[in-house]
């Protein structure tokens, strides 16, 4: 984007066209998300696509729409730069030194596929969101006790185990594990556990990834080998899981 001049918004339209039958987690169709992504440029570009990429959930079709002109305030432009920086430093983990320079495009969040999501943009200046158990599947979380920040999706809530139960394949309970390993006391003994999956991005989406199927080695059921977290020991990211996956 240029410091002075017009601003054009382009929408990135993504939909799942061929689900991956070997994917061991919940299938994600971007077309069903409440939000989507777009980018800002100083020149209106022509439509592009369709072209095809491969997400963990399967083959997706991608289209880029023609640009529509926007009038942004200085505050909204700065918020767009902050969001762009967040995407590359936190979501994609490309670099934590991302600086938006004049002439470069900016990645932005959209609502209704073609409108800038100003509410999400401005939320980056607000306090950290709280854990919303009712919409757990739309959360991206990071365990607060890890020395290096890691991000995860929540696949489902686990009610068959509690924090006072032994961890699958271990003689330790969840409660004693967190006390011994991290020096943390679990305060809410009634909350469900979280079965999670990594939110790390796969860098190569031009070809299908390798199939991954969990094997039940010990006969302990679907939670065997799964990573289980406690909501009270997790931080919540501002970006919804669907948008993060996109």
Q: What is the pLDDT of residues 155-174, one digit of tens each?
A: 999 988 899 999 988 899 99
Q: Which two tokens stand for residue 116?
A: 């800038």
First to last CA, the chain: 23
- State the Cα–Cα distance between residues 42 and 19, nearest whole angstrom: 36
Please say if the pLDDT value at position 217 is more than 80.
Answer: no
pLDDT confidence bin for 229, thresholds 50/70/90: very high
| Cα dihedral 133, 135, 136, 139 sign | negative
Top pLDDT among 9 and 96 is at 9
Report the 10 Å Cβ neighbour count for 230: 20
Please say if the pLDDT value at position 221 is more than 70.
Answer: no
What tens digit of pLDDT does each residue of 72-85 get? 898 999 999 999 98
Task: Give phi and psi for 81, each to the nearest 5.
Answer: -65, -40
Region 195-202: what's the mean pLDDT? 84
- State the Cα–Cα distance between residues 102 and 42, nearest whole angstrom: 10
What tens digit of pLDDT does each residue of 42-98 get? 999 999 989 999 988 999 999 999 989 998 898 999 999 999 989 988 898 876 665
User: What is the per-residue pLDDT for 150?
Assistant: 92
Question: What is the CA 37 to chain-centroid distance, rounded?
Answer: 12
Please say if the pLDDT value at position 226 is more than 60.
Answer: yes
Please say if the pLDDT value at position 219 is more than 70.
Answer: no
What is this structure's pTM?
0.86
Q: Which two tokens stand for residue 71?
A: 């009038």
Please say if the pLDDT value at position 220 is more than 50.
Answer: no
Task: Starting at the earlier edge strand, list the strands of the sheet with 140-143.
Answer: 228-229, 193-198, 152-158, 140-143, 234-236
């Amino acid at each position: 984007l240029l410091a002075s001049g017009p601003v054009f918004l382009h929408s990135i339209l993504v939909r799942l066209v061929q689900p991956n039958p070997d994917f061991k987690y919940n299938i994600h169709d971007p077309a069903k998300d409440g939000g989507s992504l777009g980018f800002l440029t100083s020149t209106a570009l022509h439509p592009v696509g369709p072209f095809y990429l491969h997400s963990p959930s399967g083959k997706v079709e991608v289209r880029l729409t023609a640009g529509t002109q926007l009038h942004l305030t200085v505050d909204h432009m700065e918020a767009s730069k902050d969001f762009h920086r967040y995407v590359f430093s936190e979501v994609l983990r490309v670099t934590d030194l991302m600086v938006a320079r004049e002439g470069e495009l900016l990645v932005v969040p959209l609502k209704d596929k073609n409108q800038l999501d100003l509410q999400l943009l401005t939320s980056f200046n607000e306090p950290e969101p709280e854990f919303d158990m009712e919409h757990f599947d739309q959360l991206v979380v990071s365990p607060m006790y890890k020395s290096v920040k890691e991000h995860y999706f929540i696949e489902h809530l686990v009610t068959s185990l509690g924090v006072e139960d032994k961890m699958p394949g271990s003689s330790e309970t969840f409660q004693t594990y967190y006390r011994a390993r991290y020096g943390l006391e679990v305060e809410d003994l009634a909350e469900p556990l979280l079965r999670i999956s990594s939110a790390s991005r796969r860098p190569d989406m031009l070809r299908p990834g390798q199939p991954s199927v969990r094997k039940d080695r010990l006969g302990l059921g679907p939670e065997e080998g799964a990573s289980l977290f406690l909501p009270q020991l997790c931080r919540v990211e501002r970006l919804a899981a669907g948008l993060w996956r996109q």
